[in-house]
A and B are shown apart, each in its own frame.
Chain A
Amino acid sequence: MTQLASAEPALLQIESLTKSFGGFVAVDNINMDVRRGERFGLIGPNGSGKTTLVNCISGALRPNAGAVFFASEEVTQLPPSRRARQGIARSFQIPRPFRSMTVVENLLVALDFASGRAVLETASHRRDAAMSILGRMGLAAKAGVLTGTLTQVELRKMELARAMATGPKLLISDEAMAGLSTSEIDEVLDLLLSLAGDGIAIIMIEHIMQAVMRFSERVMCLDAGRIIAIGAPAEVMANARVQEAYLGT
């Protein structure tokens, strides 16, 4: 705490976080923090605990030990909906749209429940807000269609748009680029960069290294639930243990 006293306190702070499933320790005693507006890359081989860590941050899972602080408040035991209202938003590795709704209605759920209802008093205000987010994501033309008809990249963007509609301070993007083509990856990456430009901290989980390198100010690499490297992207990539974890000796 004394270290942080002089600097601005971290937006997200994780202390000694441990999550195990039966005898398997998925996240093992992790300490980390994310600053306001920071672009944070989270990498690691499959099964290294990235998604479990994210689930503990967003509230989908409760950790066995340790604590999560967000904007200086402890949120470790709060349900995801409360965290969403405090400003933690996420997208999912496999998109989870509300299938019976149109694209704009998906965003209206967020606007109805999570973000400033006080500001957006009337239904038409909320619809305008949803449309402006969709416009920014390049989805305005799809506002009225059911999510089942969207393409993969559109679904990814819709998830980011819905997360944005909650008015987040922290956005967690869980492999939003998996399975996309090179040009689509650039599209999504540009979107994330522009969101980060608005002062939203973003944790990006990604396997596509060029994207991580281009996006992140700081990268953390997990292996078997532990942090094996954290720092500037180039440093982390050069780290022998990271290379070992990825290439598998």
Chain B
Amino acid sequence: MPRSTLMFWFAAAVFLAAVLLMTRLIGNEYPFFAGYVILQFIVLAVAWSILGGYAGYVNFGTNAFFGIGVYTAVLLIKAFGAPLAVQIAVAAIIGSLLGFGVGLLTLRMRGIFFSIATIALAIIIETAVTNWRFLGGAAGIQLQRPPVTAPFDSYVKMLFFVQALLVVIAIATTRTIQNSRIGRGLQALRDDELAAECTGVPTLRLKLLACAISGALISAGGAPAAMYLQYANPETAFNLNYSVSVLAMSLIGGTAHWIGPVLGAILLGTTQQLLAVTISSEINVLVLGIMLVLFVIVAPKGLIGLMRQFSMRAGGQK
């Protein structure tokens, strides 16, 4: 195992241990309630960047995959009273199948056409769920949390830890892709799809793989939201804001490396949480828009691009 991989898993273990420790030491639930959202956005942004960043296919249907995750959980809770781990696992499977299916239908389209197709997908699924009585329909559905399990003293703290675990899984997956030939293949097809094909890259297969993995992770990241809110309705679960936020986070962070979406999600997620508390939750979208415009103009390659620029300049002055 290369040393960087060892370091990565060490850091991941430290991170999870710190999260676990926090849940024991901090009594107040609110930090976990707010932190959960930030962790959730890290999962979504990192997952989104697999297809949107490496392959360059801008998926506007994050909300479709997120909502599918939420409603898979709702269905499993309502029909079988399934535990959280099962909800997440099944959501990941359904998310990957959806990703694969959508990929087959739409990945032959390039650029803006693909993006529009993914928006359509979200609308179709939302409409279907809205008309599914068993899942509560348009009015939504109330959910009852089961009693919390062993090391945790509150359900929200447990969800926080679970989402932290999903962050590690999402980053590890993305990192593996980035460092493998799959990552190089995706990068090649983003640069020039025909040249990639003629150089031996099976572009359709790689795109389908990226779409399925990305979809699985987004749906998995969405599944715990059902229990987090103890309520689900189609309008919230399939809210286009998820797509816009995740896209903004990835682009603001930079998509050349998995750390980009992580930084973007932390930066924007924290800002959003602070604004939601101090001013109003409606102003979120405005700030998001302004930041996105600023970054597109000032730092089109995101925070990563900025950092590389600075380090190159510092290197040059030596």
Interface size class of A (residues with CB under 8 A): 20 to 34
Given contacts A60-B194, A92-B195, A113-B181, contact A98 B187 (CB under 8 A): yes
Q: Contact: B184 with A112, CB < 8 Å?
A: yes
Residues of B close to A60: CB separation below 8 A: 194, 197-198
* A100 at the binding interface (Cβ < 8 Å): yes
Binds B, one of A80-88, A128-136, A224-232: A80-88
Q: Contact: B185 with A80, CB < 8 Å?
A: no
Q: Contact: B181 with A58, CB < 8 Å?
A: no
Nearest-CB residue, chain B, relative to A100: B191
The complex places the Cα of A112 from the Cα of B201 at a distance, in Å, of 9
The complex places the Cα of A108 from the Cα of B196 at a distance, in Å, of 12
* B175 at the binding interface (Cβ < 8 Å): no
* A97 at the binding interface (Cβ < 8 Å): yes
Given contacts A89-B198, A90-B198, contact A101 B204 (CB under 8 A): no
Residues of A close to B201: CB separation below 8 A: 81, 109, 113
Closest approach, in angstroms, between the C-beta of B104 and any C-beta of chain A? 15
Residues of B close to A165: CB separation below 8 A: 199
Given contacts A98-B191, A101-B191, contact A109 B197 (CB under 8 A): no
Residues of B close to A85: CB separation below 8 A: 200
- Provide the A98-124 mask, 1 if CB < 8 A to any CB of B, else 0: 111100010011101111000000000
Q: Contact: B199 with A114, CB < 8 Å?
A: yes
Residues of A close to B195: CB separation below 8 A: 92, 96-98
Closest approach, in angstroms, between the C-beta of B53 and any C-beta of chain A? 11
Closest approach, in angstroms, between the C-beta of A116 and any C-beta of chain B? 11
Q: Contact: A59 with B199, CB < 8 Å?
A: no
Which of A80, A89, A97, A163 meets B194, CB within 8 Å?
A80
- Tell me the residues in window 167-192 of chain B with beta carbons closer than 8 Å to chain A beta carbons: 181, 184-185, 187-188, 190-192
* B163 at the binding interface (Cβ < 8 Å): no
Residues of B close to A48: CB separation below 8 A: none
Nearest-CB residue, chain B, relative to A147: B191
The complex places the Cα of A109 from the Cα of B206 at a distance, in Å, of 13
Q: Contact: B192 with A113, CB < 8 Å?
A: no
Residues of B close to A84: CB separation below 8 A: 197-200
Which of B181, B187, B192, B200 meets A81, CB within 8 Å?
B200
* B202 at the binding interface (Cβ < 8 Å): yes
The complex places the Cα of A82 from the Cα of B195 at a distance, in Å, of 13
The complex places the Cα of A192 from the Cα of B185 at a distance, in Å, of 27
Closest approach, in angstroms, between the C-beta of A127 and any C-beta of chain B? 12
* B214 at the binding interface (Cβ < 8 Å): no
Nearest-CB residue, chain B, relative to A84: B200
* A79 at the binding interface (Cβ < 8 Å): yes
Residues of A close to B184: CB separation below 8 A: 105, 108-109, 112
Residues of A close to B192: CB separation below 8 A: 96-99
Closest approach, in angstroms, between the C-beta of B244 and any C-beta of chain A? 25
Nearest-CB residue, chain B, relative to A110: B199
Residue among A82, A97, A100 with the highest chain B CB neighbour number at 10 A: A100
* B203 at the binding interface (Cβ < 8 Å): yes
Q: Contact: A166 with B204, CB < 8 Å?
A: no
* A162 at the binding interface (Cβ < 8 Å): yes
Nearest-CB residue, chain B, relative to A60: B194
Closest approach, in angstroms, between the C-beta of A94 and any C-beta of chain B? 11
Nearest-CB residue, chain A, relative to B195: A96
Residues of A close to B187: CB separation below 8 A: 98, 100-101
Nearest-CB residue, chain A, relative to B181: A112
Closest approach, in angstroms, between the C-beta of A50 and any C-beta of chain B? 17
Closest approach, in angstroms, between the C-beta of B196 and any C-beta of chain A? 7
Given contact pairs A81-B198, A109-B201, A112-B185, a sample of 15 additional A-B residue pairs in the complex whose CB atoms are under 8 Å apart: A60-B198, A79-B197, A80-B198, A81-B199, A81-B200, A96-B192, A98-B192, A98-B196, A100-B191, A101-B188, A101-B191, A108-B184, A109-B196, A110-B200, A113-B185
Binding site for A on B (CB under 8 A): 181, 184-185, 187-188, 190-192, 194-204, 256
Binding site for B on A (CB under 8 A): 58-60, 79-82, 84-85, 89-90, 92, 96-101, 105, 108-110, 112-115, 162-163, 165-166
